[in-house]
Chain A
Amino acid sequence: DTAVSQTPKYLVTQMGNDKSIKCEQNLGHDTMYWYKQDSKKFLKIMFSYNNKELIINETVPNRFSPKSPDKAHLNLHINSLELGDSAVYFCASSPIEQGNEQYFGPGTRLTVT
């Protein structure tokens, strides 16, 4: 059973479109995250959600919005896509305790043309 799943795995779309990436975890974790892997292969946090509350929101354009319908899901919505949004986006989840690792999804490769 996949612990953290993302759909779609690949997404190709045109500039200006609105798209969503879904993330689901079946681990019962309290916190979920979205990361962006930039062009230099660097992982950067975008958002984290704890019990349906946004607790961290890095300096990400407001075209990006996380939506959590329930504890097991954290979807990423992107409006008015731009070329620079092309990247691999990773979802992750973790329990809330200090010593627990994060479990990552397989990633979604977004290409904006």
Chain B
Amino acid sequence: ILNVEQSPQSLHVQEGDSTNFTCSFPSSNFYALHWYRWETAKSPEALFVMTLNGDEKKKGRISATLNTKEGYSYLYIKGSQPEDSATYLCAFRNSGNTPLVFGKGTRLSVIA
């Protein structure tokens, strides 16, 4: 059974602070690592899909890095805003024929 761990489980930051959280996944047989943003009462929205070791992706104030050899990915948010408040999910896939395995998410609350 594949294990995808996210930390911290929840996080409270002040508006304007930068923050980051971690996704850990098995370091063998890597295929893809996904990050999703999930607001309450909505559906998960894709942020990034990362497929190569050393990948760095950026979308606005949000960026992510990937280390497949050691099995982790970081998600960074620069200058957090209240609208960034959501649960951030990572999901790992070890082949093209296997499903995404989701972590339990990091719940971010940005306080104005």
Which of the candidate stretches A13-21, A73-81, A97-105 sits at the interface with the other chain? A97-105
Q: Which residues of B contact A104 (CB under 8 A)?
A: 43-45
C-alpha gap A101/B36 in the complex (Å): 9
C-alpha gap A33/B99 in the complex (Å): 9
B11 to chain A, nearest CB (A): 16
Cβ-defined contact, B43 with A56, below 8 A: no
C-alpha gap A20/B89 in the complex (Å): 28
C-alpha gap A45/B94 in the complex (Å): 14
C-alpha gap A90/B98 in the complex (Å): 18
Majority-rule SS of A interface residues? loop
C-alpha gap A107/B42 in the complex (Å): 8
Cβ-defined contact, B31 with A98, below 8 A: yes
* Interface, chain A (partner B; CB < 8 A): 4, 33, 40-45, 48, 55-56, 58, 90, 96, 98-107
| Pairs of residues from A and B, 8 with the lowest C-beta to C-beta distance, nearest first | A101-B46, A45-B99, A104-B43, A43-B102, A104-B44, A101-B49, A99-B51, A56-B99
A97's nearest neighbour on chain B, judged by CB, is: B96
Q: Which residues of B contact A101 (CB under 8 A)?
A: 34, 36, 46, 48-49
Q: Which residues of B contact A105 (CB under 8 A)?
A: 43
Q: Which residues of A contact B48 (CB under 8 A)?
A: 101
Interface 1/0 per residue, B43-62 and A, CB below 8 Å: 11110110100000000000
